[in-house]
Structure 1
Amino acid sequence: MSTPLGLAALTVLDTPPLQHVDLAERHGFDTIGLRLLPAAPGTTAYPLHEDDAALSALVRRLADSPVQVFDLEIIRLGPDFDPSDYAPLLEAGARLGARAVLVGGDDPDRARLTDSYARLAELCASYGIVASLEFMPWTAVPDAKTAVEIVAGADGPARSVLVDALHVARSSTTVADLAAIPREWLHYAQMCDGATPAPRDHAELIRHAREERLVPGTGGIDLPAIWSALPEGLPVSIELPNEPLRQAIGTDAWLEQLVTATGAVLGRVPATAIVE
């Protein structure tokens, strides 16, 4: 079964959406992810939901492209979360044909967090989008078990858990935990490798996640074990920011390397084909 490949926003975050499509076409990606809201204050994002001209231009560009938008980033569920604040983002996502929105859980109150997720998932469903709750070890959703508990408590449509290889390896998540996620809640997974041993403090975990991910097969994460627990053919988004490595060989060579290395993990090509 063929596995759709996506070019995540964070891998080329300095690239505006129109050029992001160009890169995806050039390197054989099936989909792209777009960051419309920043992951942290002051960081890069492309708020297409606030710029109708830019949004319309991207819609026209996608109409002539084999590349599709898969996911949007990022909605954070904090103590003051109000799903109506994100209706413009989801409206833009529907125009782009997006299938998922990445969700982070930042509210330490588990009951309130679960309720916020349920309300967001319900809103997302009205736009044909799933709310993919990503577990990250420095958040209020630190591992797969917690993500499953929250999503299970949100009875309703558009429920989804996002598996990121880096967060699997740097949390208490096991392969058995991944295998226990209901298949209907898995819509895509994020691919990368990472250095071992993992950083111990949250600041370094965050920095590594945003700046120092490694090419699949060059770090210490057991990627084959992770993917053995996921459904065959599950769409894969390559999320792999590492500016020193990218700048050393150039963006085009970098993306070719990532595609080849990811193919090796997924069984598409022999590992010996990976360019070092």
Structure 2
Amino acid sequence: MSHSYSLAYLTSNTLTPPQAIQLAAELGYRFVGLRLAPNAPGAPQQALIGRPDILRETLAAQRDTGVGVFDLEIIRIGEGFDPRASLPLLDAGAALKAKAVLVAGDDADTARLADSYARLCELMLPYGMTADLEFMPWTTVPDARTALGIVDAAGRPANAGILVDALHVARSGTSFDDLRALPRELLHYAQICDAPTSAQLGRAFTVEEMIHTARCERLLPGEGGIDLRGLFAALPADLPVSVEVPNETRLPQAGQPDWARQALAASRAVLELGA
């Protein structure tokens, strides 16, 4: 089955939202992902919130190309989380007709994290977007089993979701059986990339190494050691795929258009040509 592909922010982080949409259309992506809120204070993001001029340009690019916005980044749930702080992001998502918001869990109190997640889902319900909790091995939601536990503890809201990132599956101890155990209604999209595995390295990765790879040094699908075909075979065949391949060395060398083109071609080669 042919997947629909989204050009993730980390694969196109040199571009403004309208530029990302234009490039996605030229290359054959159906969607884009945008980072309209930073993943840490002072970290990079795409300007749009509070910029009606850029919002108008982005909406015009959507109308002209037919490329949609799939997911927005990022909402982080920490100890003092107030879901109302996310209202500007949610308002932007509603205007863009985004489908999902990426959520990270940082609160070490898992009961409080589940409660905060439930409150976020309740706030988001009128906006028509899902709250997709991404498990990452260095966070308090390190694997798929923990993510499912948080969502279940939150009462499994109607707009709840779990985001599967191939890199985090490989480095968290999440098994393909764990993926198959995730309820279909919680799966809205998955992220693809490649990387070396701990088996290839001969030891476990440090937290610092895992974070660096995730943000700065992923490989194109097919270049690393992750069993991507096995991983995606454990997920629904019609699941949209976000192509997330940040590489701070190779992206500038290739140039933004060619890197995004290579990333899409490599993803298709793994998921479709080898099927």
Same fold (TM over 0.5): yes
Letter in 2 for 1:84: R
Letter in 1 for 2:258: A
Q: What residue ranges of structure 1 are gaps of 5+ in the alignment?
A: 272-276
Deviations 1:127-149 (CA, angstroms, capped at 9, x unpaired): 00000000000101000000000
Match of 2:228 among 223, 230, 238: 223
Do residues 56 (structure 1) and 59 (structure 2) align?
Answer: no
2:126 is matched with 126
Distance 1:201 1:54 in 2: 39
Q: How far did 1:17 drift? A: 0.9
**TM-score for the superposition, normalised by structure 2:** 0.94
Do residues 252 (structure 1) and 257 (structure 2) align?
Answer: yes
**Closer/same/farther in 2, CA of residues 47 and 107 from structure 1, 3 Å limit:** farther
Q: How far did 1:25 drift? A: 1.0
Letter in 2 for 1:64: D
Letter in 1 for 2:159: A
Aligned pair count?
A: 270
Q: How far did 1:73 drift? A: 0.1
Q: How far did 1:47 drift? A: 4.2
1:11 is matched with 11
Match of 2:242 among 232, 237, 260: 237
Aligned ranges 1:152-167 → 2 under 5 Å: 152-155=152-155, 156-167=157-168
Distance 1:35 1:255 in 2: 16
Corresponding residue SS for 1:136 = coil
Moved more, 14-23 or 93-102: 14-23
Moved more, 212-221 or 18-27: 18-27
Letter in 2 for 1:109: D
CA RMSD of aligned residues (A): 1.4
Match of 1:200 among 184, 201, 205: 205
8 Å CA contact 2:144, 2:178 repeated in 1: yes
Moved more, 92-101 or 152-161: 152-161
Letter in 1 for 2:222: G
Letter in 2 for 1:105: G
Deviations 1:58-83 (CA, angstroms, capped at 9, x unpaired): 11221222210000000000011111
Q: How far did 1:102 drift? A: 0.2
Distance 1:264 1:61 in 2: 28
Consecutive aligned runs of 4 or more in structure 1 exceeding 4 Å deviation:
none
Moved more, 180-189 or 42-51: 42-51
8 Å CA contact 1:122, 1:157 repeated in 2: no
1:70 is matched with 70
Letter in 2 for 1:92: A
2:271 is matched with 266
Moved more, 39-48 or 25-34: 39-48
Aligned ranges 1:93-112 → 2 under 5 Å: 93-112=93-112
Letter in 2 for 1:235: P
8 Å CA contact 2:22, 2:65 repeated in 1: no
Do residues 150 (structure 1) and 155 (structure 2) align?
Answer: no
Deviations 1:144-192 (CA, angstroms, capped at 9, x unpaired): 0000001112222201000000000000200000000000100000000
Letter in 1 for 2:193: C
Q: What residue ranges of structure 2 are gaps of 5+ in the alignment?
A: none
Letter in 1 for 2:149: E
Distance 2:261 2:72 in 1: 23
